[in-house]
Structures are given as structure tokens and as C-alpha cells.
Amino acid sequence: MSTFRVASRARLSLALTGAIGVTVLAGFALSGTSSSAATTRGARAADATSYCGTKPGVAATGTPINLGTIDTKQAGTDFSDISSMAAAYFACVNANGGINGHPIKYDVQYDQTQPAQIAAAAKALIQTDKVVGIVGVTDILECTIDQAYWKSLGIFEIDSGIAPECWSTPNSAAVNMGPRYSSDGAVQYALEQHATKIVFDQSNVPGTGYIAAGPAAIAGAAHVPITQLTENVPVTDASSVALKEVDDAGPNGAVILNFTPPDALVILQAAQKLGIVNRVKLWGCSTPCNTDFLAKSLGPAWNHKLFVNAELTDPDGATGAEFALYRGILTKYGSAVSGGIGSFSQMGFVEAKFAVKALETIKGAYTIKSVNAAFEGIKNYKSAMLCSPWTYGNLALHIPNNVDYTTTTDNGIMVVAQGCHKISSADPQIAKYRTVAAAHGL
Amino acid sequence: MPGGIDLHPLIIGVLGLPSWLDFQPFIYTGLALGGVYALSGVGMVVLYRATGVLFLAFGAVGAMGALIAWQLINAAGLNQWLAYLICILFGGVVTLGYGIVFGRALAAREPLVKAVATLGLALILLGLMDLLWTSSGGESRSITLPTDNSGFIISQIQVTWTQVIGLACGVVMTIVTGAFLRFTKLGTAMRALANDREITATLGVPVRRVEAAAWFGCGILAGFAGVLLADLVALDATTLTFLVISSLAAALIGRLRSIVVTFVAAIVIGLVDAMITPIQSITNYRDMTPFVLAAVALLVVNRQRANSLSREGI
């Protein structure tokens, strides 16, 4: 092969690589122009961050308090935004006095849904990183795998639950309601709108039986028939799925979805393309659908046709000191929070806020015992992002977030359709929690 | 039959099958999906026939092109047709680039090595997409073609023009590719390459130029299928990357040679997949459709070949 041909091939390869790179980068570079307007708002919001600690502007220099978390982070399932927001909150606290002068050191372990990896991560946090508290966990299996370990150590984790054990065990309390109780809320709303049949469709993943039991109990108590469906995810034939749901629900029925936003979106869009949106009384969805990404993708054709159970207050247009602090922290410290404003970052914010408030009550050394006693002792902590005060307590199970909103799509954003509403005690787990909590005077 | 027993309702009741009326809408959704599977399958077969490479990155290339188009439309406000054109060109350029850089080195290697090498490209693109278009904040993206907004009603459902285009593209691409391979000089050269690369080269055929044309054509089809599948299925990197499995199954049923059989197999896969959906008892097993059909087809073909060989006394 001649030198000319080698050089020519190298130039062509370089040109191709360059062309691809330029195409990709052009999109991203151009995307920056649309966000320039937000910069000024962000600068104003950043001022609010001085209120996240007890000594504004004074960096904490004491011995660190080690907190840790374990999150699922893998292709297609990435919950790292929640711990990233908690880390941002802690960074803000550290820059403004810390916890009585002590900065928080936050150790994050990621896993790829492997039980052995999750168990090892828990041991690494305790034995290597010497963490004294677990805050911000959002993991598909963590509650299931580590509950016995946390119990043996006396650790009371504050988390965003996914696995059933996050709500049904003594050493875990979640700021969110999770798929079961959020689906309960969506079904409850549909029943209040007089749907005569419920079709509840969810991802075919471990734990579907546990989740399905809630909506089944709620619909059963109202004497309304319910059809339970599951779909393999990712959904590759959304048109067929949407058709099946609508056929099963009938004209006065409701279709309730429990999927992540990408899968929910393709099903809803398929229904729209097939022209079958109005062939049921209403469409509902559990919390993951409560995102402007989804509302924007659906567009005005879905205005007030999709009703989403929302575990946390919709941040769009929300005002007040706490939302100013949330936006400020996100702007100043939250560069790693890729999703920006949304329910994931809200959960991280609330978990960190409650943990910090509990840590501030500790007199003396920050040990596993003192920190977890403070966490367990959390009682009636308020957040503008939650419908009702949040309590941990020494209980056999914890469902502290059991009052929520319903939102609906409106010209590309989610707006409140129904204010704070108690999840029905027709779900036996909710009834059990309320009984246990009442017995403990909570 | 006068006086006879109509067994149809009985069969439906016993097996839990929906009525024919309930099945009909699923035929249309299955045909549309099958058409796009066919488009992808034909692209893979053409490349395989010219280069001997089973291009497993077909889905990933289309997915990345579609995500770039989404980015250009939503973040840069680019005209959507121009964005889709860039998506298609991206598919062509990336695939051609891969072919130029690695094609020669892989030419003499075993088919398995060639296929696994393209899996490497798929994984690199998948990683890049995960990095650039994250989903950690619950992001959901979609591409809505203008042809989604109109169509016609059949069996009480709207059939969009995108679905019609999906099926039509599969048909047209099969006919055009078949004619191209049969009647054009370049197509003949590709077929010759498939038979024997060395002999073809000694006959004066510009082998590398012919291969480059095959890589580029396959990439263009990947980009085109990427846009259609992003609309018809989902704009999700993982989904689109691995959706190639259905097309691959169709290509395998066509034994990586026959584009007509590949087309028919793709349509059947799409149809069966969709029509299983309303059958409650087996609906969750419908993802097995491509594997089951490919396995059955290959078993039947091998059995026929074994019978034929035994008849010839070999």
C-alpha cells in the first residue's frame, strides 16, 4: 500500500470522526442557548443557599460526620440524581456552618442490581468508610438485601423506596410512597371520577404481585372490577399494549399505568396515534409520570386527560423559602443533578433536609448510636414538598408519606388536579401502618 | 353448515382467545412494526452478502442518529426534516467509517469475529448515548413525525401514515434492493464478493469501493430505520439498540441470503408479536417470538437439507 493511500485513508477516517463529533457537539452546544434565560433566575435562587446552614458563609472545618448511600446506577436505570441532590444539600450545609461546625462527608456507592454487590457496598460503607448514618438510598434491591444488616447495627435508613421492604420493615423509612401506594392513589382518583372498571398495567419486574395487591384492594373495596396486566420492559410494541388496555377497560373504565416515564410515554403516545385516548373514561399513572418531560412530550392533545398521583408537591411555579432553597442549591451545588428540577431531586432534597435537621439535635459525639437515635426520633418534620408531616419512629413498618396530590397534564407541564388526599386504608398495608402509628401515639 | 355445530365460539372460550373482531386492530399495528423490522433485516442481509459481516450495531447506529435528531430539533430548533436527514446521514457516515477503519482488517477473519467486532461498536455507541442522553432524572424523549397527525380509520382505530410508511418502506426496500443486486453492476459486484472476495478482486472489481458502498447503504438504512422506530417504538437507546434482535431473527430465517424471505419473516414476526398481545395467557411471552420463529425456521431448513443430502446418498 502506498504512503499516499495510507495518508488518504487516515485523513478520511479523521474527517469522518470529526464530522460525527461536530454533529453531536453542535446539538449540545446549541442546547446551551436555550438555557441562558434561566441563568439570571438561577443566580437569584443561589442567594437562598446561605440559609441551609446555621452559620451563613462560614465553612465547617470540624471532624466530618460520615453519611452514606447505595444507589442503582446502570444503563436504563439510574437513580443517582437523588443522592447527587442530597450531596448538593450537604455541600450547601458544609459551606454554611455544617452541623455544629462539623462538615458532612457523603459516601455514595453504586450498584448494578447485584445482591452480592449491594451487600458488599453496605459493609464497605460501615467498615471502610465508617459512616454513621444511611441517607438518600434509592435502589431496586437495597432494602431487600440490607435490612437484616441495618437492623443488627441499629441503623435507621432514610430512603426513597423502591423494594417492598423499604416500607414494610422497622429500619427503613421512605420520603416517597413508592409504586404500590402511588398506584393506590391513582386508582383511588379514578374511582372518585366514577370509573366503572380499572385496568392496572405495570412493568413485568420482580415485586409486581406486591404492588398489584394495593390497587386490587382499593378497587375491591369499591366493588369495581379490576384487570391486572404486566408488560415486559422496555415496551417494544406500545400500540398493541395501548389497544389491549383500552379494549379491557371499556368506555367507562380507567387505564392506570405504573411504568417509568419512557415506557409510560410510548404507551400514551401510541394511544394518541391510534385515536383511542377518548375510548376510556380516564388515564391514570403512578408518580413516575409526574414529570414535565412527559407532559411536554405528550403535548396539548393530552390536556386534562392524564391524571398522575404525585408524592411530592409540583415544583412548577411553587414559591416560598423551601422551594427557593431547593432551586438555589440545585443551581449552586447541583451540577451533577442531570435531571434538574423534578421529583428525583426533590426526594434527595427532602431526605437530606430531614437528616440535617435530625443531626442538629444531637448533643455530643456523632456515632452510629447517636445519629440513628436522632433519625429514628424524627417526628412531624415538615416540608413544603410533602402533604403531611413526616415521622420515623420505632415501628414495625413505615409508610410516613401516605397523603398525596393528583396532577394532570396542561400544555406541556403538570398542574395540580386534586390537592392533598389521604391514600385509602382499604389497602391493608396502609391500614396496618395507621393502626401501628396510632398505637405509638404518632 | 346447516344443522352443524359452530365450534368457533367454543374454541375461543376454551383457549381464552379474543374474538376475530378484537384481533383485527392488532394486525395493523403488527404490519407496521413488521415493515420496519423488514427494513432493518434487508439492510443487514445486503451488508452480509457484500462483506460477510453481520452488523449487530445496526440498532445502536439508528438509535444514536435518532437521538441526535431529537437534540437538534428540541435544543437547537432545527427544521425537523433537516434533523432527520442528518440522522440518516449520521447512520451512513458512522457505518462507512467503521467499514473503512475495520473492514479490511476483518475481511479475512471468521464470521463470528466479524459479528462480535460490530457488537463492540454497538456497546461503544450505547455507552455514549447513556452518557450524553441520561435518564437519571426521569427524562423521557420522543420523536413525533408529522405523518403521525393524520391517517385513516380501520376497525375503529386510526392507522397513521407513519405506520403505512413503515410497511411501505419495507416492501419498497425489498423490491429495490432485489432489483439493485440483480440488475446493476454494483449489485452484481456485491453478489460476486459474497461468493469469493479474492477471485472477485483478481477479476478487477474494486473490492474496497464496493464494500464501502455496502457499508454506507447499510448505514443509511440504519439511520432511516432509527427515525421510524424512534417514532413507532420508542426513542430510547437501549430499546432501539436491542430491537435489532427481531430484524436479526428475520435475517437468519432468510439465511442471510434471501431478502424476500427476510422480508416475509420480518412481517410474520411483527404480526405474531402483535397478535399475541391480547391473549392473556401468553401475552408476557411475546418477546420470545423472534427467537422461537428463528429456531423453528432453522430447524426446518436444516431438516430439509439433511433429508436432501440423505436422498443424494451423501
Of the ranges A55-59, A259-263, A379-383, which one carries the lowest mean pLDDT score?
Answer: A259-263
Mean pLDDT of chain B: 86
For residues A423 and A400, what is the distance between their CA atoms, to the nearest angstrom? Answer: 11
Residue A34 CB: number of other CB atoms within 10 A? 12
- pLDDT tens-digit series, residues A131-148: 999 999 999 899 999 999
List of chain A residues whose C-beta atoms are within 8 Å of the C-beta of residue B278: 240, 243-244, 247
Instruction: Note the pLDDT of residue A29.
Output: 35
Identify the structural domains of chain A with CATH numbers, from first to last.
53-177+315-401 (3.40.50.2300), 180-310 (3.40.50.2300)
A-contacting residues in B 138-197 (Cβ below 8 Å): 138-142, 144, 148, 153, 157-158, 160, 162-163
Residue A88 pLDDT more than 50?
yes
Of the ranges A114-128, A410-424, B2-16, which one carries the lowest mean pLDDT score?
Answer: B2-16
- pLDDT tens-digit series, residues A67-79: 999 999 876 678 8
Instruction: Note the pLDDT of residue A374.
Output: 97
Instruction: Note the pLDDT of residue A6.
Output: 36
Q: Percent of chain B scored above 70 by pLDDT?
A: 92
Residue A1 pLDDT more than 50?
no
Residue A285 pLDDT more than 90?
yes
Tell if the CB–CB gap between B132 and A28 is shorter than 8 Å.
yes
Q: Which residue of B lies nearest to A80 if distances are taken between CA atoms?
A: B136
What is the average pLDDT across B266-276?
Answer: 92
Of the ranges A308-322, B2-16, B28-42, B65-79, which one carries the lowest mean pLDDT score?
Answer: B2-16
Least Cα separation, residue A38 to chain B (angstroms): 14
Instruction: Note the pLDDT of residue A359.
Output: 97
Residue B282 pLDDT more than 90?
no
For residues A66 and A325, what is the distance between their CA atoms, to the nearest angstrom? Answer: 23
What is the number of alpha carbons within 13 Å of residue A435 lying toward its C-beta?
9
**3-state percent helix, strand, coil for chain A, nearest multiple of 5:** 50, 20, 30
Q: Does B32 touch chain A (CB under 8 A)?
A: yes
Cα separation values, A74 from A78, A80, A160, B127, B314, Å: 6, 10, 17, 11, 52
CATH number of B23-133+141-311: 1.10.3470
Of the ranges A66-80, A150-164, B119-133, which one carries the lowest mean pLDDT score?
Answer: A66-80
List of chain A residues whose C-beta atoms are within 8 Å of the C-beta of residue B123: none
Q: Does B24 touch chain A (CB under 8 A)?
A: no
Tell if the CB–CB gap between A244 and B278 is shorter than 8 Å.
yes
Helices B289-311 and B259-276 cross at an angle (nearest 10°) of 140
Please, which pLDDT band fits residue A12 given cuts at 50, 70 and 90? Answer: very low
CB within 8 Å of A100: residues ≥ 6 apart = A54, A62, A360
A-contacting residues in B 198-257 (Cβ below 8 Å): 232-234, 236-239, 243, 246
Burial of A170 (0-12, 13-18, 19+ CB in 10 A): middle
Q: What kind and span of H or E run contains B14?
A: helix B8-15
Q: Which residue of B lies nearest to A78 if distances are taken between CA atoms?
A: B136
What is the ipTM, given to two decimal places? Answer: 0.77
Instruction: Note the pLDDT of residue B4.
Output: 55
What is the average pLDDT across A346-369?
Answer: 96
> Domain ranges in chain B?
23-133+141-311
Cα separation values, B49 from A16, B27, B184, B207, Å: 25, 31, 15, 13
Instruction: Note the pLDDT of residue B305.
Output: 72
Residue A20 pLDDT more than 60?
no
Tell if the CB–CB gap between A339 and B90 is shorter than 8 Å.
no
For residues A176 and A342, what is the distance between their CA atoms, to the nearest angstrom? Answer: 13
Residue B147 CB: number of other CB atoms within 10 A? 16
Please, which pLDDT band fits residue B103 given cuts at 50, 70 and 90? Answer: confident
- Look up residue B309 and give its amino acid: L
- pLDDT tens-digit series, residues B53-94: 899 999 999 999 999 999 999 988 999 999 999 999 999 999
What is the average pLDDT across A215-227?
Answer: 97
Most confident of A151-160, A205-214, A270-279: A151-160
Q: Does B135 touch chain A (CB under 8 A)?
A: yes
Q: Does A347 touch chain B (CB under 8 A)?
A: no
What is the average pLDDT across A155-181?
Answer: 94
Select the more confidently predicted residue: A392 or A274.
Answer: A392
Say which residue the cell 477479476 belongs to: B203
Residue B18 pLDDT more than 90?
no
List of chain A residues whose C-beta atoms are within 8 Å of the C-beta of residue B243: 236
Q: Does B17 touch chain A (CB under 8 A)?
A: no
Mean pLDDT of chain A: 87
What is the average pLDDT across A378-395?
Answer: 95
Residue A413 CB: number of other CB atoms within 10 A? 14
Residue B122 pLDDT more than 80?
yes
Say which residue the cell 409504586 belongs to: A179
For residues A231 and A241, what is the distance between their CA atoms, to the nearest angstrom? Answer: 8
Least Cα separation, residue B272 to chain A (angstroms): 11
Instruction: Note the pLDDT of residue A211.
Output: 92
Instruction: Note the pLDDT of residue B7.
Output: 60
